[in-house]
């Protein structure tokens, strides 16, 4: 069995796509997932399965659509991939410290994608990097560093330029999920 983290895009955001995590856990039981756990209401699911990432992604998306009539992209990472994301943050420690001192709210976020963006689309997003907003794309993961706030940031408003669905989690959530994987 492989340990996985599934992250749902656009769940319980701004009063839209409301989905109770207890109901989601119940709906996923028939898929044969083991040790299903959720974290906060934004659609973070930890579980074990012997199925492939691609099959799980489709099964979970289909279950959410048929059970709750919600269309949500599901982004999946193995436990090893997830640990790699949090253990290999590409921003220098000084940048993280500086951003944390000036940011309103969380300064470090990760946008997780189902597939890596093309170089052309990556370049479209990277043109918005500035003194107040940093971005490093590593495969299917986009690290975002904000010295002010994600709410008004150009980078977060232009993630669609990657032309790949993305779901964003702040670093605090990423670290909590990494801890929960091993529990």
pLDDT, tens digit (0-9, with 9 covering 90-100), for 104-157: 888 999 999 999 999 999 999 999 999 999 999 999 999 999 999 888 899 999
d(CA 18, CA 21): 10
Instruction: Kindly give the interhelix angle for 171-181 and 79-87, rounded to the nearest 10 degrees.
Output: 140
- Outline which parts of the chain fall under CATH 3.30.70.1280: 2-81
The Cα–Cα gap between 109 and 1 comes to: 29
| Residue keyed to tokens 């009063």 | 15
How far apart CA 108 and CA 100 sit, in angstroms, is 8
What is the SS3 assignment for 98?
helix
CATH class belonging to 89-170: alpha beta
For domain 2-81, give its CATH number from 3.30.70.1280, 3.40.309.10, 3.10.580.10, 3.40.50.2000. 3.30.70.1280
With tokens 């012997």, the residue in question is 50
pTM of the model: 0.94
């Amino acid at each position: 069995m492989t340990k996985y983290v599934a992250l749902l895009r656009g769940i319980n955001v701004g009063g839209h796509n409301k989905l109770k995590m207890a109901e989601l856990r119940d709906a996923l039981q028939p898929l044969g997932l083991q040790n299903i756990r959720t974290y906060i209401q934004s659609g973070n699911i930890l579980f074990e399965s012997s199925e492939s990432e691609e099959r799980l992604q489709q099964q979970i998306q289909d279950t959410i659509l048929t059970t709750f009539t919600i269309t949500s992209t599901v982004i999946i990472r193995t436990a090893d991939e997830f640990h790699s994301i949090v253990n290999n943050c590409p921003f220098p420690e000084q940048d993280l410290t500086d951003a944390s001192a000036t940011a309103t709210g969380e300064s470090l976020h990760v946008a997780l994608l189902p597939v890596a963006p093309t170089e052309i689309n990556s370049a479209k997003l990277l043109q918005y990097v500035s003194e107040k907003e940093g971005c490093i794309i590593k495969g299917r993961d986009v690290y975002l560093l904000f010295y002010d706030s994600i709410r008004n940031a150009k980078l977060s408003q232009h993630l669609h330029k990657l032309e790949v669905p993305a779901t964003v989690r702040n670093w605090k959530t990423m670290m909590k999920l990494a801890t929960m994987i091993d529990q």
